[in-house]
Amino acid sequence: MQNMAKPGERVKIIAGKEEIEGVLMPEEKEFVVVKLDTGYNMGIDKKRVKEIKPLGKKKEKRAEFPKEKPKKGLPTIVILHTGGTIASKVDYETGAVTPRFEPEEITAMFPELKNIANIKSRLVANMLSENMRFGHYNLLAKEVEKEVKAGVDGIIVTHGTDTLHYTSAALSFMLQDLPIPVLIVGAQRSSDRGSSDAALNLISAAFFIAANKKFAEVAVCMHENTEDENCIILPGTKCRKMHSSRRDAFQAINTEPWARVTYSKKKVDLLRTGFKKVSSTKKLKLLPMKEDVKVGIIYCYPNMYAEQFKAYSGYAGLIIDGTGLGHAPIMEIDKFTKENAKILKELESLIKKGTVTVMTTQTIFGEVDMNIYAPGRTLQEAGVLGNYCDMTTETAYIKLAWLLSNYPKKAKEMIGQDLVGEISKRLEYEKEFVKR
C-alpha cells in the first residue's frame, strides 16, 4: 500500500476497482479510515487498499460571529476553559474536532446561554486532565481570583473528567472565603456524538448560578443519570468519578448532592442546605499549592513488600489507600507473613523521618475506623493519621498537599479537621451505597 498522505488531508483511496474520496483520519490497526463528504466515517480493509493519493489539505473555515451586547438584568458568568472536549465542534470538511473558546462561539454552540447570563469566555490551559500538576491548580485559582475581583456573578470551569474531582477538591481548599459560585463542568461524551452530555452540563451549570443567588461553593455539575434530563450539583470535596464512560459517572460520596437542576422545566431543587452563602463583604483569600511538595498514594493489596513503602522516603506526605476500615498488611502471623513485619518497620521509619502519613479506605463509601481491630491500633501507634475520617483518597491527597504547602507545622493536627466540608459530620453512605 502506497501512502504519501497524512491525517487531515483530503485523499483519493484506490481499493480494488473502487475510488473513494474524503478526509484521511488517524490510522487504525486493520483499516484505513476516511471521512466522507456526508460526514460519515468509512473503514476500508488495508488488504484492499492499493494506494492513498493526497489531494491537498482543506483549511478549516472559521465562522465570524457578531459581538454579543450585554443584556440588562442578567448575571455575568465567566467560563474558564482548561480542556477542549466540552467546547469543541466537529468540522466535517476537515474531520477536525476544534476547540472553541470565544464567548460568541460558545453562545453559538449553546444558544440557550444567551437567555441565562451574559457570557464571558477564555482559555486558561487546553490539556488532557491527566496531565494536570499543582502549578495548573495555582494558575486556575489565580484566574478565578482575577474574575472575582472584576465583580462577576459566577464562574464555570470546563475540565477533562479524568481528574476533575482532584481539581474541584484543590480549588475548594485554595479559594478561602469564596464570595461567589465556582462550578466545574466536564463532558463524558465528545460533542461530535449524539449522546454528548456537554450541552446539558454547561447549560445546567449556568442556569444554577443564575437561578440560585445564594450558593457560594466550589462544586461540580454533571449528569444525574443516563437520561438527558437532569444534572446534579456535587460538593467539590466529596464527589468522585465512578464510571469510565457513563454520563452519570460522577457521584456524591458519603453525602447528598447540593441540588438537582432540570433545565427543561427551568427548575432547581435544593437537596440539602448548609452551603456557604454569596456575600459582597467576603474577601477571597488565595492559598496556593507548593508546586514541588511531594505527596504519594500507596494502594494496599495482598503480597506487598517493604520496599514499596521505602520508595516514599523523602516525601512530605503519604496517603495509604487501605482495605476495609483502614488496614494495611503489617502483621506477622506465620511463616508466610514475615514481610509484613518489615512493612511495619518501614512505615514507622518513614513517619519518624517526617513523612505525614494518612489512612483512607479503598471501599470509597464509609469511614476509617482503626480502633476496631488490633492492626488498626498498631497503625495509629506507628503514627498513621486519618482515623474517623471519611475523605475520599483523592480529596485526602489534595488536602494533605495543601496543608503541607500552607500549614506544614499544623498539618498533622488539621488533617482530621473538617475545613471545607470534606469530612462528614453524619455519614449517609449506607443509603448512597444501596442506591448504586
CA-closest candidate to residue 98, choices 113, 81, 111, 115: 81
pLDDT for 68 equals 74
Residue 105: band (very low, low, confident or very high) from pLDDT cuts 50, 70, 90: confident
Q: Which of 35, 82, 85, 107 is catalytic?
A: 85
Interval 118-139 mean pLDDT: 93
- In the predicted structure, residue 60 carries a pLDDT above the cut 90: no
Interval 423-435 mean pLDDT: 57
Residue 47 belongs to some domain of the structure: yes
Do both 247 and 361 map to the same domain? no
pLDDT for 4 equals 67
pLDDT for 433 equals 45
- Write the CATH number for 31: 2.30.30.520
pLDDT for 37 equals 75
pLDDT for 316 equals 98
Is residue 281 annotated as a catalytic residue, yes or no? no
Do both 94 and 227 map to the same domain? yes
Interval 426-432 mean pLDDT: 48
* Residues 11-28 as b or e (16 or more Cβ within 10 Å = b): bebbbeeeebebbbbeee
Interval 189-212 mean pLDDT: 85
pLDDT for 88 equals 57
Domain boundary among 286, 316, 347: 286
CA-closest candidate to residue 359, choices 392, 386, 377, 331: 386
Helices (H), 92-161: 103-109, 134-150
pLDDT for 42 equals 85
- In the predicted structure, residue 104 carries a pLDDT above the cut 60: yes
Give the total number of structural domains in the chain: 3
- In the predicted structure, residue 222 carries a pLDDT above the cut 90: yes
- Average pLDDT over the chain reads 89
Do both 270 and 182 map to the same domain? yes
Length of the chain: 436
pLDDT for 2 equals 63
8 Å CB contact between 9 and 57: yes
Place of cell 475520617: 389
Residue 254: band (very low, low, confident or very high) from pLDDT cuts 50, 70, 90: very high
CA 325 to chain centre: 26
Domain boundary among 266, 286, 306: 286
Do both 260 and 401 map to the same domain? no
pLDDT for 89 equals 57
Q: Which of 82, 158, 161, 393 is catalytic?
A: 161
Do both 300 and 281 map to the same domain? no
- In the predicted structure, residue 432 carries a pLDDT above the cut 50: no
Question: Which residue would you say has higher pLDDT here, 188 or 402?
Answer: 402
Please state, in angstroms and rounded to a whole number, the distance separating the CA atoms of residues 248 and 338.
44
Q: Which domain holds residue 30?
A: 2-57
Residue 7 belongs to some domain of the structure: yes
Residue 360 belongs to some domain of the structure: yes
Strands 18-24 and 31-35: antiparallel
- Write the CATH number for 392: 3.40.50.40
Please state, in angstroms and rounded to a whole number, the distance separating the CA atoms of residues 125 and 146.
16
Residue 430 belongs to some domain of the structure: no
Q: With the C-alpha atoms ordered 209, 215, 217, 220, is the resulting torsion angle positive or negative?
A: negative
Please state, in angstroms and rounded to a whole number, the distance separating the CA atoms of residues 154 and 80.
11
Instruction: Name the pTM for this structure.
Output: 0.84
Residue 178 belongs to some domain of the structure: yes
Do both 95 and 243 map to the same domain? yes
Please state, in angstroms and rounded to a whole number, the distance separating the CA atoms of residues 342 and 128.
39
8 Å CB contact between 404 and 411: yes
Q: Which of 12, 46, 114, 162 is catalytic?
A: 162
Residue 70 belongs to some domain of the structure: no
- In the predicted structure, residue 14 carries a pLDDT above the cut 70: yes
Do both 277 and 312 map to the same domain? no
Do both 312 and 329 map to the same domain? yes
Do both 324 and 269 map to the same domain? no
Helices 164-174 and 393-406: crossing angle in degrees, nearest 10, is: 40
Residue 269 belongs to some domain of the structure: yes
Is residue 85 annotated as a catalytic residue, yes or no? yes
- In the predicted structure, residue 280 carries a pLDDT above the cut 70: yes
Q: Which of 163, 241, 361, 395 is catalytic?
A: 241
- In the predicted structure, residue 431 carries a pLDDT above the cut 50: no
Do both 234 and 282 map to the same domain? yes
**240 vs 146, 164, 249, 300, CA distance in Å?**
28, 8, 8, 20
- Write the CATH number for 138: 3.40.50.1170
Do both 250 and 352 map to the same domain? no
Domain boundary among 222, 256, 286: 286
Residue 38: band (very low, low, confident or very high) from pLDDT cuts 50, 70, 90: low
Do both 317 and 207 map to the same domain? no
For residue 196, the tally of other CB atoms under 10 A from its CB is: 19
- In the predicted structure, residue 436 carries a pLDDT above the cut 50: no
Residue 68 belongs to some domain of the structure: no
Cell of 201: 452540563
When mean pLDDT is compared across 33-42, 134-143, 242-251, 395-404, the lowest value belongs to 33-42
pLDDT for 98 equals 56
377-407 pLDDT, tens digit each = 999 999 999 999 999 999 999 999 999 999 9
Q: Which helix (H) or strand (E) holds 166?
A: helix 164-174
When mean pLDDT is compared across 88-97, 253-262, 328-337, 421-430, the lowest value belongs to 88-97
